[in-house]
Amino acid sequence: MRMFDIIDKKKHGKELTREEISYFVKGVTSGEIPDYQTSALLMAICFKGMTDEETAELTLAMAASGDEMDLSHLSGIKVDKHSTGGIGDKTTLILGPLMAACHLPVVKMSGRGLGLTGGTIDKLEAIPNLSCSLSMEDFFHQVEEIGVAVASQTASLAPCDKKLYALRDTTATVDCIPLIASSIMSKKLASGSDAIVLDVKYGSGAFMKTEEDAKKLATIMVTIGEHCGRRMDYVISDMEQPLGQAVGNSIEVNEAVRMLKGEGPQDLREVVFQLGAKMLLLGDIVSTEEEAVKLMEEHLSDGSALEKFREMIRCQGGDASFLDTEELLPLASYTKEILATEDGVVTKVAADIIGHTALDLGAGRTTKDDAVDPGSGVFVCKKVGDKVKKGEVLAKIYTSSEDGLLEAQKECAGAFVIEGQSR
Ligand code: URA
């Protein structure tokens, strides 16, 4: 078999066979296929697409390119949750402890930031001393002991995806449904959960720009998961504006804690409840959505979800004392406010611009080796539909360096559209 022929075949829009896909995945993983040929095939896939069968074959081959975790020795139905990524998405920080409090075990492998802002691991590591680099033994032991553990993905989990993602990121081939579906589902399948709930986002701050594309992506991922014997469900959620108010690392942990204390913004609460209800249903903890909502409300209001978070932080070596302080985790010391320049109603808070601002302030990374600044970020004070008066605070930005603060302030202001109330 020759890589040249595989690229040529896809270039002409033809369907690749299982053997050709397997040859490609093995060659990428071993390093035998040079990056220029891999990139050429990725671009051909972007232009010509893949059938559902090809996407499923690619996913399976990628899942088998490294270690595949066996969770069968852990008790209960293990339910994973995955977001396709967005701005201000801190749902895992809330759902992990909340589901564990509801007696649904959560065995979660997460990544560092791929896009504009930090990933779940970056957010958790904003908690002093907390580590997500857990040995498999400690990871499983923690799930048995307290019902929840969040660890960073090991290099041996779907290694082919790591190589492909690094190339896609630099060759403008990320936003392609078969490539996103196989990337996400290969890691999910290799992580070994019995059931998976997908949060597929659309809008300016997401890979999918339209609801229709988000549904297409969700459908293909569900089909692949079910084909592999996993229980699957999904939520389609809006990412035109950031989720909740906080965008960054410490700042998002603080918002998650507020929600675990029964407070927090309504849009975040809605997405958490939608995802949580599907997780509890797939995990056979409840039999109706109403029961799920009641159970989650109980565990948020009696403090048991917050206590689970405390246990999880302590088990992973972190200092949980911030949970008892009014200010929670400290934010970076340089701050600026973005003020409304007119009276009106907020009609847009562009998630992509807020994400770029957070990145520029230090909350995300431009290369995989960059360090993230835990205390930097954006706090969005006004969301779509809110009335504002000239001079009112629309957002606050935080960073550890004065450099670029004024540019970030300007950039962030550009995310807001205010229209006169009479319209
Ligand atoms: N998340 C992933 O893991 N992979 C993608 O391709 C996109 C989002």
Residues spanned by CATH 3.90.1170.30 within the chain? 334-419
42, containing H or E segment: helix 35-48
Q: First-to-last CA distance in the chain? A: 64
CATH dotted code for 3-49: 1.20.970.10
Which tokens in the block code for residue 255?
């918002």
Which tokens in the block code for residue 193?
């959960």
Backbone angles phi, psi at 408, to 5 degrees: -65, -35
User: Using an 8 Å Cβ cutoff, are 313 and 127 in contact?
Assistant: yes
List pLDDT tens digits, range 49-73.
Answer: 999 999 999 999 999 999 999 999 9
Q: What is the pLDDT of residue 423?
A: 45
Residues spanned by CATH 3.40.1030.10 within the chain? 79-324
**Which atom of ligand 1 is closest in space to residue 165's alpha carbon?**
6
Pick among 3.40.50.970, 3.40.1030.10, 1.25.40.80, 3.40.50.300: CATH of 79-324 = 3.40.1030.10
Q: What is the pLDDT of residue 421?
A: 64
Q: Which CATH superfamily is domain 334-419 in?
A: Pyrimidine nucleoside phosphorylase-like, C-terminal domain (3.90.1170.30)
- CA–centroid distance, residue 174 to ligand 1 (Å): 8
418, containing H or E segment: strand 416-419
Q: What is the pLDDT of residue 182?
A: 96
Pairing of strands 106-110, 377-380: unpaired
pTM above 0.95, yes or no: no
List pLDDT tens digits, range 212-267.
Answer: 999 999 999 999 999 999 999 999 999 999 999 999 999 999 999 999 999 999 99
Ligand 1 pocket mutation pick from 62, 165, 169 by most atoms within 8 angstroms of CB: 165
DSSP strands (E only) in 220-333: 231-238, 246-248
Judge residue 383's burial from the number of C-beta atoms within 10 Å of its C-beta, 0-12 exposed, 13-18 middle, 19 or more buried: middle
For CA atoms 182, 188, 193, 197, give the dihedral sign: negative
Q: What is the pLDDT of residue 114?
A: 63
Q: Active-site residues: which are they?
A: 82, 161, 168, 183, 187
Q: What is the pLDDT of residue 115?
A: 66
CA–CA–CA angle 46, 51, 54 (5° rounding) = 90
**Does the CB atom of residue 110 touch ligand 1 within 6 A?**
no
Q: What is the pLDDT of residue 369?
A: 75
Residues spanned by CATH 1.20.970.10 within the chain? 3-49
**Does the CB atom of residue 59 touch ligand 1 within 6 A?**
no
**Does the CB atom of residue 180 touch ligand 1 within 6 A?**
yes
**Which atom of ligand 1 is closest in space to residue 85's alpha carbon?**
8
Contacts of 278 (CB under 8 A, 6+ apart): 197, 233, 234, 235
Instruction: Give me the residues of the chain with pLDDT under 70, please.
Output: 113-115, 368, 421-423
Q: What is the pLDDT of residue 155?
A: 83
Q: What is the pLDDT of residue 111?
A: 76
